[in-house]
Structure 1
C-alpha cells in the first residue's frame, strides 16, 4: 500500500507517517528516496500508536510495544503502571469537578472564605507541582511535534 493509501485509510498525515518511521514506530517496505510503500499491518500499528497516545504513553514508550521485526509485544507491567497513573488522574479530576461544582453554588460571601474552595486550590497547586516535576524528568524525551495528527485526529496533551 503506498503512502497516499495509508493516509487515506488511517487519517494520519504523510508527514506524521514519515516522522513515525524516523522514530522507529513503523517501517516502509521501500528504501528512502522512492515513494514509500507499507505493509497492510501498518494500519494496526498506527491504531496502536493512537491508542497508546490516547492513554498517555510517549512515543518512546510506544516504540517499546513493538519487537525489532515489527510485531506487537506489550509490556504488561508498563500497561498496569499506566492504568494506575490514569486511575490517580481520574480521582484527582473527580475531586476537582466536585470542588468546581461547589464553588459554582457556594453560599460563602467570598470564595476565599470557603474551606471547600481552599481545598480545591490546594489540589490544583499539588497537581501543577506534580506536572512540573514530571515535565522536568521528560524534557530529554520529545513525544512528538505539535500538531502531528493521529488516528482519530487526537491532539497532543
Structure 2
C-alpha cells in the first residue's frame, strides 16, 4: 500500500475493479502483495483502488498473456507515474524499454514454430542427443535440453 495516496470519493472497491478488469479479487490482492498495484484504506480498513489501477491490471494481464514475468512487469510499472492515469508518452517510454526483449522473445517463438516439427515424432526435446536432428551428438557441448530452440546451438 502506498501511504502517499489518499482516498477519493470515486475510488473503486476490489469487487468493482475485479468486475471491470476481469480478474478475481484474490488476483488483485496478489498483484498488490507483489507490488504491481496499490490501494488505499478506508476508515474501516477496506481496500479502495484509484481508477488508474484498471489500466495497470489490463497491462499486467496482457503482459502475462505473452509470457512476460511478474518481475519484468513490476519493473516496468515502477517507471509509470503513481496516482494518475499514465499518458500515451508514459506508455511509449515503457514500450521502448521492452522493444528489444520482446523482439528476442518473438525470434525465439518463431524459431520454435519453425523447428518444432523436426522433433514432433520422437519427443526427444528433453534428451541430450538425437540421431535425427543432432547426428553425432554435436550439440552435446552446449548441455542438456532443447539447445536448438533456445538459441545456444
Which bracket does the TM-score occupy, shorter chain normalised? 0.5 to 0.7
Counterpart among 31, 44, 54 of residue 43 in structure 1:
54
Give yes or no for contact 2:14–2:47 (8 Å, CA) kept in 1: yes
Q: By how many angstroms is 1:97 displaced?
A: 3.0
Q: If you compute each CA radius of gyration, which structure gives the higher value, 1 or 2? A: 2
Q: 1:125 and 1:32 mapped to 2: Cα distance?
A: 55
Question: Does residue 20 in structure 1 map to residue 31 in structure 2?
Answer: yes
Q: Which residue of 2 aligns with 1:54?
A: 65
Q: 1:11 and 1:48 mapped to 2: Cα distance?
A: 12
Counterpart among 132, 136, 141 of residue 118 in structure 1:
132
Structure richer in helix, relative to its length: 1
Structure 2 runs not aligned, ≥5 long: 1-11, 123-129
Q: By how many angstroms is 1:29 displaced?
A: 2.8
Question: Does residue 10 in structure 1 map to residue 18 in structure 2?
Answer: no
How many residue pairs get aligned? The number is 119
Q: By how many angstroms is 1:28 displaced?
A: 1.0
Q: By how many angstroms is 1:25 displaced?
A: 0.8
* Aligned-CA RMSD value: 3.6
Q: By how many angstroms is 1:68 displaced?
A: 6.3
3-state SS of paired residue (2:68): coil
Q: By how many angstroms is 1:86 displaced?
A: 2.5
Residue 18 to residue 118, structure 1, CA distance change in 2 (3 Å) = same
TM-score scaled to structure 2, two decimals?
0.60
Q: Which residue of 2 aligns with 1:34?
A: 45
Structure 1 runs not aligned, ≥5 long: 105-115, 131-157
Give yes or no for contact 1:29–1:38 (8 Å, CA) kept in 2: yes
